[in-house]
Amino acid sequence: MKVLFEFLKNPFYRVAGYTSLVWGVVGMVVATAIAFCGGVHYHGLLHFGGAPNGAWWCFVVEHLVVWLVPAVLIYVSALFCSRSHVRPVDVLGTVAFAQLPFVLLSLLMAIPPIREITSVQTVEEVELLLSDMGRLLLVVWIGLLSLLLTIWVLYWMFRAISVACNLKGRNLWLVFIIGAFGGDVLCRYLIGFCY
């Protein structure tokens, strides 16, 4: 139990490089398949929901962009901030592994009643939703669970940067902010071309 907890706290202490890359890519393929079946779009690293383009390639592009853009930003900024030799495979692998909770997130968002709620767009539909206490509670739960899963991804990304780039303190936070939040902005811009 303690070993599992330690692993969940920082999986990159034991897993990095090609092993993490294989696990991350497998997770990405599964998450993409679930997202395609459930119509769950990733508009950015931290944004998800419905979107007008339902083509299969759009889901593939979204997942690739959400993985590669933060990874490249982290790698480039780590070249300036880290005193260690940073291997691209460690950054790509650990960032992909850190996004494994997206499988659970896609699964959660693909559940039919949740899909119905997340596809609400008109004012009438929103008013109807607010008047139904049961559905309103479901919205709160979806929000909390998706927030927790997103925090999990961010936490693992933070750990991934710390191990893959050997960063601590201010430099670690700087690279994390560039990778996660700068990555989200850039992802949203790039994915916007798909719609």
Partner 1 sequence: MTNRESKKRLPLRCPACDAQLKVSKMVCVQCGTEVSGEFDLPVLTRLNEEEQHFMLEFVKASGSLKDMAKKMGVSYPTVRNYLDDLIEKLNNMAEE
In 10 A of CB 49, how many CB atoms? 14
What's the min distance (Å) between Cβ of 87 and partner 1?
7
**135 binds partner 1, rule: CB under 8 A:** no
DSSP state at residue 40 = -
**17 binds partner 1, rule: CB under 8 A:** yes
> Looking at 17-25, 29-37, 44-52, 55-63, which segment touches partner 1 (CB under 8 A)?
17-25
* Nearby residues of 151 by Cβ (< 8 Å), 6 or more positions away: none
């893959």: which residue's tokens?
164
Task: Kindly tell me which residue out of 55, 84, 141, 147 binds partner 1, with binding defined by CB under 8 A.
Answer: 84
What's the min distance (Å) between Cβ of 93 and partner 1?
9
Which among 144, 188, 183 has a CA at the least distance from the CA of 161? Answer: 183
d(CA 127, CA 121): 11
The residue among 65 and 165 lying less far from partner 1, judged by its C-beta, is 165
Task: Kindly tell me which residue out of 166, 186, 190, 194 binds partner 1, with binding defined by CB under 8 A.
Answer: 166
């607010």: which residue's tokens?
130
Which among 111, 110, 102 has a CA at the least distance from the CA of 62? Answer: 102
Phi (first) and psi of residue 41, to 5 degrees:
-100, 145
**15 binds partner 1, rule: CB under 8 A:** yes
**87 binds partner 1, rule: CB under 8 A:** yes
**95 binds partner 1, rule: CB under 8 A:** no
The residue among 146 and 162 lying less far from partner 1, judged by its C-beta, is 162
> Looking at 29-37, 68-76, 158-166, 184-192, which segment touches partner 1 (CB under 8 A)?
158-166
Phi (first) and psi of residue 42, to 5 degrees:
-105, 110
Strands (E) in the chain, as ranges, are 41-42, 48-49
The residue among 19 and 119 lying less far from partner 1, judged by its C-beta, is 19
**13 binds partner 1, rule: CB under 8 A:** yes
**Site residues (CB under 8 A) for partner 1?**
12-17, 19-20, 83-85, 87, 90, 163-164, 166
